[in-house]
Amino acid sequence: MDYQRYFERLLSHKMSDRTFRRYKALLKAHDLPMNKENLSTLAELKKLSDAHKLSLALVLRSFLEMPKMSGSVPGSILKTYILGVTQGRPHRTTLARWLGEYAPEKLYSPTDVTQIVLLAFTYKIRNQNGTHQKPSRASTLSNQKAWSKCG
Distance CA 76, CA 74 (A): 6
Sequential pLDDT tens for the chain (151 residues): 699 999 999 999 999 999 999 999 999 999 999 999 999 989 988 987 887 777 888 888 878 877 676 678 899 988 998 999 888 888 889 889 889 888 889 998 877 887 888 888 888 877 876 555 444 444 444 444 444 444 4
Burial per residue of 93-106, b for 16 or more beta-carbon CB atoms within 10 angstroms, e otherwise: eebeebbeeeeeee
What's the pTM?
Answer: 0.63
Query: Which residues lie below 8 Å from residue 113, measured CB to CB, with a gap of 6+?
Result: 69, 73, 78
Q: Under a CB-based contact definition with an 8 Å cutoff, are residues 72 and 107 in contact?
A: yes
Which has the closest alpha carbon to 90: 113, 66, 81? 81
Helix, strand and coil in the chain, % to nearest 5:
65, 5, 30
- Measure the CA angle with vertex 68, ends 84 and 115; round to 5°: 70
CA distances from 150 to 40, 137, 144 (A): 47, 20, 10
